[in-house]
Amino acid sequence: MATRNLAAGAAALATCMVITACGGSGGTSLSAAGSSVSVAASSSASAPAPAPASAVAVPGATCDAEAAFVRALPLRRRLAQLLMVGVTGPSDARTAVRTYGVGGIFIGSWTDQSILSRSALKAISDLGRVPLMVSIDEEGGRVSRVPGADLPSARQMEQTMTVGQVRAEGERVGGLMSGMGITVDFAPDADVSDEPADAVIGDRSFSNDPATVTRYAQAFAAGLRDAGVYPVYKHFPGHGHGSGDSHVGAVTTPPIASMDTDDLVPFRAVAGEDAGVMVGHLDVPGLTDGLPASLSPAAMALLRTGTGYGAPPHTGPIFTDDLSGMGAISDQYPIAQAVTKAIEAGADVALWITTDHLSEVLDSLVAAVNSRRLSVAAVDRSVLRVARAKHAVTC
């Protein structure tokens, strides 16, 4: 389903978790920051025999192995699986994984390139209880972070290559990533745009024709999957006709009704694919009520269910755009508040570009669970979506 790199060791982990869940007659306790959520078995002599593990429901689980996987993680570690942080280098990454148990790390332009080797990243991943997502931005053109990629921009690819050639380029560049231990690419850009090449989306978009964007974005994503790299389409529900640059400040899109036959077309087409989707920091009239889509329950529900724009449900993980370095968010919300609002809204993975404030963020998420603003059931479903995407558990 997701990357080959993350599959190593997952079987042993799942087996251990199954044994843990099935052994003993006591309950399972999910504790964090001094609080606990418990499921206890009855000790009454007249009570029926304990139900087998398969009968003890874990929201979102489709088999015993998935249920056991979730039960084996304390609540705080489950919440950490929903965090992806930018790292400066190997030492920073090791701390984020070993100390906090984050689910993913992001390789940026500022990251020490010595981390980009399969052995270095495997050693970092092995510090955690769950295989690690290792992500990067490799769209081509001016958004290129993979050494040796030499990939043209999306617009250049559409103008000079066939769909089949773009798929081959996705596989070629995906092979470079896979060889370095990178497992997730925040690409392709599925925005529909006719902006000048150097605008915020500009030549990152394949075309201003939704059908063309759909064909080429799907081809690039398929190439990444061919190489064992998990693709993430962006920026739902469409940044290509926005009012400005969300890196700098708030951005408003056209009304949601007018996006239905334009910006939303590619996302409708890819909703059922084996891929992630990144939600942008976009205020969408008629949908988000002044909130950025990345923090909007309505935007997350539109993507997750497909109801309202004629798409199948999106069953893969939903990622936020960067929550700490983009003015559309950071001008209004400190990082702990932004992450918590995003996860409460329905995001599965909250991304920000440093490892700062990890403890504060986790405290805020635990508080959201304790206050019932964020349900344990929602956390469990997100944990499983992320785990399936990185082959940390299989049925």
Total structural domains in the chain?
1
Examine residue 36 and state whether it is found in any structural domain, yes or no: no
Report helix angle 210-226 to 163-180, nearest 10: 40
What distance, in Å, lies between the first and last C-alpha atoms of the chain?
A: 12
Q: How far is CA 208 from the centre of its chain?
A: 26
Query: What's the domain range around 104?
Result: 80-375
Q: Which residues fall within 8 angstroms of residue 153, CB to CB, at 6 or more apart?
A: 139, 140, 141, 142, 197, 203, 204
Residue 84's pLDDT is what?
A: 98
360 within domain boundaries: yes
Q: Could you tell me which residues are beta bridge partners of residue 35?
A: 32
Choosing from 112, 209, 245, 247, the catalytic residue is: 247
**141 phi, psi to nearest 5 deg:** 60, -130
Helix (H, G, I), strand (E, B) or coil at 216: helix
Is there a contact between 380 and 28 (Cβ–Cβ < 8 Å)?
A: no
SS (H, E, C) 122-176: HHHHCCCCCCCEEEECEEECCEECCCCCCCCCHHHHHHHCCHHHHHHHHHHHHHH
- Asked if the structure places residue 72 within a domain, the reply is no
Say whether the peptide bond before residue 357 is cis (omega within 30 degrees of 0).
no
* Residue 191 DSSP code: -
Supply the pLDDT for residue 29: 31
Please list the pLDDT of the chain residue by residue as tens digits (395 residues).
434 444 444 443 343 333 333 333 333 333 333 333 333 333 333 444 444 444 448 999 999 999 999 999 999 999 999 999 999 999 999 999 999 999 999 999 999 999 999 999 999 999 999 999 999 999 999 999 999 999 999 999 999 999 999 999 999 999 999 999 999 999 999 999 999 999 999 999 999 999 999 999 999 999 999 999 999 999 999 999 998 889 988 899 999 999 999 999 999 999 999 999 999 999 999 999 899 999 999 999 999 999 999 999 999 999 999 999 888 899 999 999 999 999 999 999 999 999 999 999 999 999 999 999 999 999 999 999 999 999 999 89
339 inside domain: yes
Instruction: Say whether 321 is catalytic.
Output: yes
Per-residue confidence (pLDDT) for residue 14, from 0 to 100: 40
Nearest to 106 by CA among 316, 303, 325, 296: 325
Does any domain span residue 9? Answer: no
- Classify residue 311: in a domain, yes or no: yes
Based on the number of CB atoms within 10 Å of its own CB, is 303 exposed (0-12), middle (13-18) or buried (19 or more)? buried
Model pLDDT, residue 115: 97
Active-site residue, from 92, 185, 263, 321: 321
For strand 143-144 and strand 184-185, is the pairing parallel, antiparallel, or unpaired? Answer: unpaired
pLDDT of residue 26: 34
**What are the CA-CA distances from residue 211 to residues 206, 216, 264, 278, 352 (Å)?**
10, 9, 11, 20, 32
SS3 call for 338: helix
Query: Closest by alpha carbon to 286, among 295, 269, 277, 299?
Result: 299
Q: Classify residue 278: in a domain, yes or no.
A: yes
User: Residue 36: helix, strand or coil by DSSP?
Assistant: strand
Residue-level pLDDT at 57:
84
The domain spanning residue 304 has which CATH number?
A: 3.20.20.300
Catalytic residue status for 226: no
* Residue that is written with structure tokens 């508080």 in the block: 367
Instruction: Find tokens 């990622």 and name the residue.
Output: 319
Note whether residue 12 is domain-resident. Answer: no
- Determine the Cα–Cα distance for residues 106 and 351; give it in Å rounded to an integer: 8
What pLDDT sits at residue 1? 41
